[in-house]
């Protein structure tokens, strides 16, 4: 047997700085225009060939430090591994270890990021050398938010999420390095539920694609910082049910003058932290509102 080989891949969380859902598609999914950025905060995926024999009959084995994360075929890591094998015919057994830090049901893209990290790990270990376009095709087949994680920087995402354009350099520089505080209450929000509610509210809940493009173009052509970009039209449907979210965001705006939004379909929110922001006071305000054990994570846009 050849000696074990290991691939260690950082699997970042993302935030949607701008998220416009622009309409429902014939396939039931929604079209969107979104500016998304990975963070320097995330999970770690370790993939090792030949270290131990995965359970008889299975090519892949998955362990996770978080007992709440399913390690069966529903996990996007195993779905991605399966898709990779179908595409390449690679047969070696691999043991995956996921060090999970991104909360689940959070709108932070954790599962999607893990899936893309899996494709990158297997591409390394197998020597299959799939190119960017092939990896993007596989990623898009696993989840709408998977392809964006191939870029390693801020992107504009269109369609269902499969059309990715990296943000032009000068604009990316206005985002990269910005400090954010990400926070999530103890409950999550189902992405499918949020989109379903939006569809039930009728066409007026969407932002026309042309208007979304106009707003992004205006930000790209201007000189305002990340705060000038923040938008998310999934907020009204999610806020109607989960009122703790808008109440706290309003407190942070009024009390500290912060630019703050929900990420994706929630329940995570984030605030941009200007230099010198009173971080410990802000964290205290969040914990007073959402409880001492809620998730609060400082991070930097990557």
The residue among 27 and 223 lying less far from ligand C5P, judged by its C-beta, is 27
Q: How far is the CB of 99 from ligand C5P (least distance, A)?
A: 22
The residue among 161 and 185 lying less far from ligand C5P, judged by its C-beta, is 161
Measured in degrees and rounded to the nearest 5, phi and psi for residue 153 equal -165, 180
Q: How far is the CB of 103 from ligand C5P (least distance, A)?
A: 16
Task: Kindly report the number of other CB atoms within 10 A of residue 184's CB atom.
Answer: 27
14 is catalytic: yes
66 is catalytic: no
Q: How far is the CB of 160 from ligand C5P (least distance, A)?
A: 4
Which one of 43, 100, 145, 184 is the catalytic residue?
Answer: 145
Q: Select from 163, 129, 166 the least CA-distant residue to 151.
A: 166
Q: How far is the CB of 54 from ligand C5P (least distance, A)?
A: 26
Residues near ligand C5P (CB under 6 A) are 29-30, 32, 143-145, 160-161, 191-192, 195
Q: How far is the CB of 191 from ligand C5P (least distance, A)?
A: 4
Contacts of 145 (CB under 8 A, 6+ apart): 14, 36, 109, 112, 113, 161, 264
- DSSP of 235-283: HHHHHHH-THHHHHHHHHHHHH---EEE-TTSS-EEEE--TT--HHHHH
Which one of 14, 43, 100, 184 is the catalytic residue?
Answer: 14
The residue among 17 and 259 lying less far from ligand C5P, judged by its C-beta, is 17
The residue among 60 and 195 lying less far from ligand C5P, judged by its C-beta, is 195
| Strands of the chain, DSSP E | 6-24, 30-49, 60-64, 94-99, 155-158, 163-166, 179-184, 231-232, 260-262, 269-272, 295-300
The residue among 113 and 126 lying less far from ligand C5P, judged by its C-beta, is 113
Task: Kindly report the number of other CB atoms within 10 A of residue 61's CB atom.
Answer: 18
Instruction: List the catalytic residues.
Output: 14, 145
């Amino acid at each position: 047997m050849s000696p074990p080989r290991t691939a260690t891949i950082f699997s970042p969380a993302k935030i949607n700085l701008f998220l416009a859902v622009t309409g429902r598609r014939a396939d039931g999914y929604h079209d969107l225009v979104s500016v998304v950025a990975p963070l320097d905060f995330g999970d770690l995926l370790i993939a090792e060939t030949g270290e131990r024999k995965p359970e008889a009959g299975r090519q892949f084995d998955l362990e996770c430090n978080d007992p709440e994360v399913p390690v069966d075929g529903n996990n996007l890591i195993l779905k991605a591994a399966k898709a990779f094998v179908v595409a390449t015919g690679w047969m070696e057994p691999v043991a995956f270890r996921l060090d999970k830090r991104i909360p689940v049901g959070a709108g932070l893209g954790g599962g999607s990021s893990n899936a893309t990290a899996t494709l990158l790990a297997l591409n390394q270990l197998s020597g299959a050398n799939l190119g960017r376009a092939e990896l993007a095709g596989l990623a898009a087949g696993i989840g709408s938010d998977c392809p964006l994680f191939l870029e390693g920087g801020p992107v504009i995402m269109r369609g269902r999420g499969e059309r990715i354009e990296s943000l032009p350099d000068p604009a990316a520089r206005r985002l990269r390095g910005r400090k954010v505080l990400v926070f999530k209450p103890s409950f999550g929000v189902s992405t499918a539920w949020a989109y379903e509610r939006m569809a039930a509210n009728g066409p007026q809940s969407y932002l026309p694609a042309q208007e979304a493009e106009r707003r992004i173009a205006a930000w790209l052509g201007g000189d305002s910082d990340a705060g000038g970009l923040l938008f998310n039209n999934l907020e009204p449907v999610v806020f109607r049910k989960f009122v703790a979210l808008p109440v706290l965001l309003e407190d942070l705006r009024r009390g500290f003058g912060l630019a703050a939004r929900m990420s994706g379909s929630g329940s995570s929110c984030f605030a941009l932290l200007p230099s010198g922001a009173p971080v410990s006071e802000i964290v205290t305000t969040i914990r007073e509102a959402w409880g001492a054990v809620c998730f609060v994570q400082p991070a930097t846009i990557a």
